[in-house]
Structure 1
Amino acid sequence: MNLTFSAHALDRCLERGISLQLVADALFSGRLERYGDRYVVRHGRLRVVAERQDDACVVVTAYRDAETNKKRAVRQRRQQVRKFQRASRKESGIWW
């Protein structure tokens, strides 16, 4: 099967710093989900949207999913809580 990249996919990969080899690796070893006539391949945080045309696999776009980065979400939540706690202490006059 031939692997082809659309112009949009090439632009987005370049813009987002995703190598074409990484996209190919994701296609061959990622989890496949079907959405209508297109496929979404999940490989870690990387998502590759592709469709099948004749005997070729055409990559439509590729992106990194930010929602699956649990460490970053926990760190941001912790920072928000600490910021709120500091503001509460400052308002109540307890500041140490």
Structure 2
Amino acid sequence: MSGRILVELHDLIQAEKDLTHLMNLLKANKAHVQSIGDSIGDWRGQAAEELRSKMAHFLTVLTRRITEFEHQQMDLAKYTYRMERADLER
């Protein structure tokens, strides 16, 4: 090896698929947590408030992570496209 990084186009395409699958799981988890939050909306007391606070924090972090992954997914798609074009031009 000459110290260069070698990435197969197939690996990039698989990474895109894996990232899409991960995104779908994260979005499903977010929807599930939101539905739980909706179902405890009428609970009262300190424990309920603590649970709502923890769930709100979790949703905030999860939303931020989903956004980060979406940006990375777009970057990966652009990179994969450039590599596909470069491979065709060879």
TM-score band by shorter chain is: 0.3 to 0.5
Structure whose residues are more often helix by fraction: 2
Structure whose residues are more often strand by fraction: 1
The one of the two structures with greater contact order (alpha-carbon pairs below 8 A, sep at least 6) is 2
Question: TM-score with structure 1 length normalisation?
Answer: 0.33
